[in-house]
């Protein structure tokens, strides 16, 4: 399933930079949570434990439910005038809010 999510080289490089500042054995977790003005939002956190329903790609964890909602997505890391951030291009989203943080399916 995680093979259906594409990570750009920039995203993988930034994830590795961030993890290099954490304890050895840490993972970068990507999840979709309820909330935000459009219904769902992406969450990027660190975790030391792989859960039973987690899918793993290199040092990245995504729970199965979030992976299903991210299917077909590209995860990138961009530097823009407003700052640097992870950017997810998700073909399953129907709309997103003006701030770009939340979305609906």
Confidence of residue 102 (pLDDT cuts 50, 70, 90): low
Q: How far apart are CA 8 and CA 94, in angstroms?
A: 23
Structure tokens at 44: 């990027």
Lowest mean pLDDT among 4-18, 40-54, 74-88: 74-88
Q: Global pTM?
A: 0.85
Q: 3-class DSSP state for residue 19?
A: helix
- Per residue in 17-67, pLDDT (tens digit) is 999 999 889 999 999 988 766 678 889 999 999 999 999 999 999 999 999
Query: pLDDT at position 33, please?
Result: 87
Confidence of residue 70 (pLDDT cuts 50, 70, 90): very high
Give the burial class of 21: count Cβ atoms within 10 A of its Cβ; 0-12 exposed, 13-18 middle, 19 or more buried.
Answer: exposed
Q: How far apart are CA 29 and CA 46, in angstroms?
A: 6
Q: Which CATH superfamily is domain 2-94 in?
A: HesB-like domain (2.60.300.12)
Query: pLDDT at position 97, please?
Result: 57
Query: pLDDT at position 99, please?
Result: 55
Q: Domain segments of the chain: what residues?
A: 2-94
């Amino acid at each position: 399933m995680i093979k259906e999510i594409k990570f750009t080289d920039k995203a993988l490089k930034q994830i590795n930079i961030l993890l290099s500042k954490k304890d050895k054995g840490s993972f970068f977790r990507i999840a979709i949570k309820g909330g935000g003005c459009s219904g769902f939002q992406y969450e990027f956190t660190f975790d030391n434990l792989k859960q039973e329903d987690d899918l793993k790609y290199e040092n990245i964890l995504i729970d199965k439910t979030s992976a299903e909602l991210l299917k077909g997505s590209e995860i990138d890391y961009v530097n823009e005038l407003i700052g640097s951030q992870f950017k997810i291009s998700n073909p399953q989203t129907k709309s997103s809010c003006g701030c770009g943080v939340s979305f609906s399916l």
